Amino acid sequence: MSDRTGSIHYAKYQESPRLQRFLALMLDGHQRTTREIDRTADIQAVNSAACELRMNGFDVRCIKKSKPAIYQLFGVAQARHLSARLLEEKAAA
């Protein structure tokens, strides 16, 4: 049994079309409801996907937790740069 507790498993951005769709939608910096994200980017578990993006270095935040929850990407320029770098690293591998 592992001594590690509290760790989560998450998809790598460069390997996940789901996370790439989510980020592409959020790259304009606008606020989006969970319903809008679900319908537009086909992301059902928005809170989980947002957590996975954060684990990959993107600053996606839930800015309103009551229903409907609202998410926003902060640091859009940095997110564009990080996305490009991660995808370039995958292409080079």
Q: pTM surpassing 0.75?
A: yes
DSSP single-letter state for residue 85 = H
In this predicted structure, what is the pLDDT of residue 2? 46
In this predicted structure, what is the pLDDT of residue 20? 97
pLDDT of residue 11 exceeding 80? yes
pLDDT digits (tens, 9 = 90+) for 20-40: 999 999 999 999 999 999 999
Q: Looking at the domain 13-92, which fold is it? A: Arc Repressor Mutant, subunit A (1.10.10)
pLDDT digits (tens, 9 = 90+) for 72-91: 999 999 999 999 999 999 88
Give residue limits of the domains in the chain: 13-92
